[in-house]
Amino acid sequence: STPLQTLFPYTTLFRSTINPSEDTIPINSYLDISAIITDEHGNELSDGTVTFSSSNPSAIKVDALSPRTARLSSVSSGSSIIKAHYNDSVWKSFPVTVKGALESISLSSSSVRLIAGDSSNLSVSLYPSDTLEKDLIVKSTNESIVSASISGKTVNMKSKGEGNATITVSSL
């Protein structure tokens, strides 16, 4: 059997359902994670147990699915360090943040008057403010009257002619 110290440089923790660069998940969702342990030659080792724990179970609850997999369930907004324990020693860890689901979108003004050729901007607010960032899209009911685009949390409008148009912001 290979000593545990030799395994550390060759072990890898795989988060199988998200891109490893993404450390934020929405509230009331889950993430399945699994661990693969290899020796110095890259051969998978089948002995030993991997268990997972959360530093903040009020934000992320951990349930074992098998000896080397677990389900992280997001309970409330917050952050947690997820630790993988191999043979009862902390082996790997990574942070996960839980953010609330988007409930509503509002604009800084409900009505804007523009003269043909004028431009104006509106600020977008998301509720709750700590919501998981979403891609926002903007639409004008009449592009020949007012065109609209969005950059970050700012709606840019340009008047093209006389008339009325409604600008709508939504999330993907």
Encoded amino acid at 62, one letter: V
Quick check: 133 pLDDT over 80?
no
Average pLDDT over residues 62-69: 88
CA distances from 6 to 66, 132, 145, 163 (A): 25, 39, 69, 73
87: left (phi over 0), alpha (psi -120 to 50) or beta: left
CB 138 within 8 A of CB 113: no
**CA separation for the pair 159, 137 (Å, rounded):** 19
63 Cβ neighbours under 8 A, 6+ residues apart:
70, 71, 73
Reported confidence tier of residue 70, pLDDT bands at 50, 70, 90: confident
Token pair, residue 80, equals 């947690």
**CA separation for the pair 155, 78 (Å, rounded):** 29
CA 119 from centre of chain: 33
Burial class (CB in 10 A: 0-12, 13-18, 19+), 45: middle
Per residue in 75-120, pLDDT (tens digit) is 888 899 988 887 777 677 888 888 877 788 999 999 999 999 999 9
Per residue in 138-164, pLDDT (tens digit) is 999 999 999 999 998 999 999 999 999
Q: Residue 99: which of 123, 70, 128 has the closest Cα?
A: 128
